[in-house]
Amino acid sequence: MGSWQDDLRGALDGLAYGARSALSPSVLQGAAVELGWLTTHLAMYPLGLVGGTQRALPSRLNLAGLGPAQRGLLVSDVRAAGTPILLAHGIIDNHTIFALMRRQLTRRGFSSIHTFSYSPLTLDVRRTAERMGREIEAICEESGSDQIHVIGHSLGGLIARYYVQRLGGDERVHTCVTLGTPHQGTIAAKLLPWPLVKQVRPDSDLMAELAEPAPDCRTRFVAFYSDVDQLIVPQRRARIRHADLLASNVRVHGVGHLSLPFHGEVVHQITGMLAHLDEQPKTA
């Protein structure tokens, strides 16, 4: 059977899988929440088209003008408060998806928050990961910090993982948080022949490369995955399953793919774990 026939069969399998659960109560509830966030995000999206990568203001290490939460983090752990954070959006998206998370991180006391952007015309995860690496080096040089955290939504999380796991980024990245990232590929990617989308198919060369050994990788990974994610099929493929990685998988109930960066409990868990560098998050 030809390649296009295999792709078509895989796409139909993915559609059949989604159809079997499309009318479940949890999916319907998640879809309603997703629609609300999508409406908000579409209103904000044009703002993200102005300019490219956002750079943070220089870190502040004094207490003047800070709220109680910000003072608390700075006093209890100045290293956690000053560790830079890089936010990486998903495909066909921009930094506005992190508007709520950025605000909550700032309120918690994190003082160096940046965003990494890439074009929806991007064709290769590997080359984009190399560019992320250069951006991280620049942030570390400017901030004077030896390490950084990366939070990636969807494909942004996969770009971050590739940088950490395959390009030596574990020397720089303390914690890599992913939200709805197709760590094991997604059957839904068989619906589109786009080169970048082909890389997140379960049988792609990229997935095979990420499954290779990664001895001595020091980065802490935390993968949030939802039981009603519409784009990760099946949803369990957003979990990290790799013997060499220090990975925790956190299950989120009833939250759609786009809503993950906006979801209050998800944002709360992320700010909490980044405020305690040496603690491992609870898994689900």
Whether the CB-CB separation of 198 and 204 falls below 8 Å is answered with yes
The predicted pLDDT at position 280 comes to 60
Among 26-40, 114-128, 245-259, whose mean pLDDT is lowest? 26-40
Q: Quick one: average pLDDT of 44-55?
A: 48
Helix, coil or strand: residue 94: coil
The predicted pLDDT at position 199 comes to 97
Dihedral over alpha carbons 146, 150, 156, 160 (to 10 degrees): 40
CA–CA separation, 157 and 173 (whole Å): 13
pLDDT at 35 over 50: yes
Q: For 111-163, how does the pLDDT look when each residue is reduced to its tens digit (9 = 90+)?
A: 899 999 998 788 899 999 999 999 999 999 999 999 999 999 999 999 999 99
pLDDT at 7 over 60: no
The predicted pLDDT at position 81 comes to 79
The predicted pLDDT at position 45 comes to 45
pLDDT grade for 92, boundaries at 50, 70 and 90: confident
The DSSP annotation for 16-69 comes to HHHHHHTTSHHHHHHHHHHHHHHHHHHHHGGGGGSSSS--PPPP--S-TT--HH
Cis peptide, bond prior to residue 84, ω within 30 of zero: no
